[in-house]
Structure 1
Amino acid sequence: MEKHVIELSNALAAAGHEVVLLTDPSYAPFIQEGVELIPFNYQRSRYSPRLLFSLLKALRKLDPEIIHCHGSKAAQLVSTLDSALHVPMVATVHGIKKRLKFLRRFDAVIGVSKHITRMLSHTPNAVTIYNGIRTPEIISRSEQARLKQSLSIAPDDFLWVAVGRLAPVKGFDLLLEAMPQVDGHLLLLGDGPERASLEAQAESLGIRPRITFAGHRDDAQRLLQCADQVVISSLREGFSYVFLEAMLTRTPVISTDVPVANEILPPELICKTGSSDALAALMQRVQRSPVDLTGIMTDCAEHMTLDNMARSVQELYRHLLPQDKQQAPHE
């Protein structure tokens, strides 16, 4: 969600709109010229009268033409203030753990995948706008070889790459359980609370020499391109950026049955969630018979970009604004 908010805000500002972020000051290093950050502390309970009053005071001072909320807490707070604000309100839903009835008060609700939008069927004015990213730099084969060598991965090894926070929801324990049934080397990019237990699991399965735990890497997008196959093993996703980065770098990907991969990939590249055997069977199948994803990759490269996402959001804003205010909405 943080990545989405920063990139969308920067893109809207670059398009000439005035964008104000009411958020934690830790965002400051990542925002570009044209985005104003007003530090705001959301730490108190969403039911705190003091927090609600502070937010109302800040919004009235800004006098925005559009209010766009990200995350359930911000959306619930703003929905409570609806009757006092009198401006169009938009909420983006990045993931759903429960029914969010307060979203009915919003003029538009964006789901970042079709799956999320379907779960918002009780909410009027729900639309799907896929996340987008800047088109990544495509690296050369020689650069891929150099990166593999830097991680001591043999050049002839079939390379599986998985990316994400090392947390239970990403299903990396299931991926490790699948690895004894397939050939090749697994590169895990990311860090998190499960790292020690995952390393211990790899030892106990006897596959530790075939697993590289690379931790957090600033060059993860480049390392992703070294993969013979990217694997998404998640139990739950709102929108998988890893899938999109794979598509836009023309890197083959398989996935468990999670958005947005299950909305775009052919069914033969999707397996059920929570099953290491199903994941291993899918991995074996694509090793034997790779699936040509050229058409899907080209379509994603044309449509699932940051520019397209920002244009779709701007069109939604314009639809909600009065005719005389459609040129320069605030966020």
Structure 2
Amino acid sequence: MSATKMKTLMLMLSDNPGIGGLEKHTRELAKEITALGHEVAVVAAPQHVEDLNGPTGFPINANRSRNSLTLLISILRIIRAGNYEILHAQGTKAAFVLQRLAPFIKRQVRIASIHGFKSRYPKAGAFHQLIAVSKALANDIAQPGVTVIYNGVSIAGQAPAQRPDGLDSPVWLAVGRLAPVKGFDFLIKAFQFCPGTLLIAGEGPEHQRLQSLINATGQSDKVKLLGFRTDVPALMSAADGVVISSEREGFSYVCAEALILGKPVISTNVPIANEILPKEHIFQGGEPAHFAALLQQNPAVLADSQAGARAFAFNRLSLSAMASNTLEVYQKASKGLALN
């Protein structure tokens, strides 16, 4: 890889008050590329450029529409003032903004990373490279020349959480915002047929409805809503296995983190679980009892059969692999622009 220092601006227009997958990816990629000696700036909502510790942050009002003239002009001014070589849109809103600005930024390399399934995607022709965070997403984008770069994960050195007394084994952990798309209601119904304990870490608008479902199914002693947690890796380390019940995902950080921690995973048919786990550990649809059948397996046996998936996670799902692959895309696109 070339040692040439590059000057990159990342644009991320999420107005999410918290840190989800898109926000986590942008922050971690910007920091990792900065640590490799490149200059990176991040344009995002104020809450997402705080405490970047390395990259430069430019706060912007991300609540505005992608078609807002004020937003477009503000971003164009930042681009021109910074004399950036690489413009990297994170997420579809940022990508559509760069697509609109393309006639005014012809001298810069334009990259867009797509993180989730959408009904409409930016046009590949407006960019020098589109990146998808999973093979399934790349197939759904269905445009020429889409590169797959998996998100990287980093597991902080946390000691396993203390498992509360009185929990029946095995202990399964589910993680995510308590929203319908995460499928926790289906999981709770399925767990009626399972031995052990289910812990769900996360907060969101579905909390009360899910608690009512837990009570109505007589599982208040075996299914626990933990609320928002900052120690998810420690919780994973203390659990026997991790379960993913999402209806859709662009890239499952939960799956990647669990595998790197050596934990077996049972998942619905979502990326990246459906790309690297054994097919027999992926729920292909059906009734809650069918999902429960997967969770009735011995976690130790599951872990043995997922050795290949863990090896893939260690080799391909690290922050260093993500940053290295992204820099290769930058350099290839830069060479292509220089030749035109």
Aligned to 2:98: 78
Aligned to 1:106: 127
Aligned to 1:308: 321
- Alignment identity in percent? 37
Higher helix share: 1
The correspondence of residues 20-59 of structure 1 with structure 2, limited to 5 A, is 20-33=41-54, 35-59=55-79
Q: Secondary structure at the match of 2:204?
A: coil
Query: d(CA) in 2 for partners of 1:274 and 1:164?
Result: 22
Letter in 2 for 1:180: Q
CA shift digits 1:194-241 (9 cap, x unpaired): 010000000000011111211111111110112212100110000000
| RMSD (Å), alpha carbons | 2.0
Q: Secondary structure at the match of 2:152?
A: coil
Aligned to 1:183: 195
Does residue 212 of structure 1 match 2:224? Answer: yes
Does residue 284 of structure 1 match 2:291? Answer: no
**1:125 Cα deviation from its structure 2 partner:** 2.4
Could you tell me whether the CA contact under 8 Å between 1:136 and 1:249 is conserved in 2? no
Could you tell me whether the CA contact under 8 Å between 1:272 and 1:278 is conserved in 2? no
TM-score by length of 2: 0.88
Letter in 1 for 2:261: T
The correspondence of residues 156-305 of structure 1 with structure 2, limited to 5 A, is 157-273=169-285, 275-286=287-298, 290=302, 292=304, 293-305=306-318
Greater mean alpha carbon deviation, residues 108-117 or residues 46-55: 46-55
Q: Secondary structure at the match of 1:237?
A: coil
Aligned to 2:163: 148
Query: d(CA) in 2 for partners of 1:63 and 1:291?
Result: 49
Unaligned residue ranges in structure 1 (runs of 5+): 326-331
Closer, same or farther in 2 for the Cα pair 1:201/1:311, shift >3 Å? same
Query: d(CA) in 1 for partners of 2:235 and 2:310?
Result: 18
Query: d(CA) in 2 for partners of 1:19 and 1:118?
Result: 30
Could you tell me whether the CA contact under 8 Å between 2:109 and 2:337 is conserved in 1? no
Q: Secondary structure at the match of 1:230?
A: strand
Q: Secondary structure at the match of 1:209?
A: coil
Q: Secondary structure at the match of 2:25?
A: helix
Query: d(CA) in 2 for partners of 1:324 and 1:213?
Result: 51
Query: d(CA) in 1 for partners of 2:286 and 2:34?
Result: 41
**1:28 Cα deviation from its structure 2 partner:** 3.2
Q: Secondary structure at the match of 2:56?
A: strand
Aligned to 1:9: 30
Which of structures 1 and 2 has the larger relative contact order (alpha carbons within 8 angstroms, sep 6+)?
1
Letter in 2 for 1:243: C
Aligned to 1:319: 332
CA shift digits 1:143-181 (9 cap, x unpaired): 55xx112xx443x52101101111110100001001111
Closer, same or farther in 2 for the Cα pair 1:101/1:217, shift >3 Å? closer
Greater mean alpha carbon deviation, residues 105-114 or residues 280-289: 280-289
Closer, same or farther in 2 for the Cα pair 1:260/1:190, shift >3 Å? same
Letter in 2 for 1:116: L
**1:299 Cα deviation from its structure 2 partner:** 2.9
Greater mean alpha carbon deviation, residues 222-231 or residues 12-21: 222-231
Does residue 67 of structure 1 match 2:80? Answer: no
**1:30 Cα deviation from its structure 2 partner:** 3.7
**1:274 Cα deviation from its structure 2 partner:** 6.8
Tell me how many residue pairs correspond in the alignment: 315
Could you tell me whether the CA contact under 8 Å between 1:234 and 1:273 is conserved in 2? no
Query: d(CA) in 2 for partners of 1:26 and 1:138?
Result: 25
Letter in 1 for 2:172: W
Letter in 2 for 1:310: A
Aligned to 2:16: none
Could you tell me whether the CA contact under 8 Å between 1:167 and 1:194 is conserved in 2? yes
Unaligned residue ranges in structure 2 (runs of 5+): 1-21
Could you tell me whether the CA contact under 8 Å between 1:159 and 1:185 is conserved in 2? yes
Does residue 133 of structure 1 match 2:139? Answer: no
Could you tell me whether the CA contact under 8 Å between 1:95 and 1:237 is conserved in 2? yes
Q: Secondary structure at the match of 1:148?
A: coil
Could you tell me whether the CA contact under 8 Å between 1:107 and 1:125 is conserved in 2? no
Query: d(CA) in 2 for partners of 1:275 and 1:195?
Result: 23
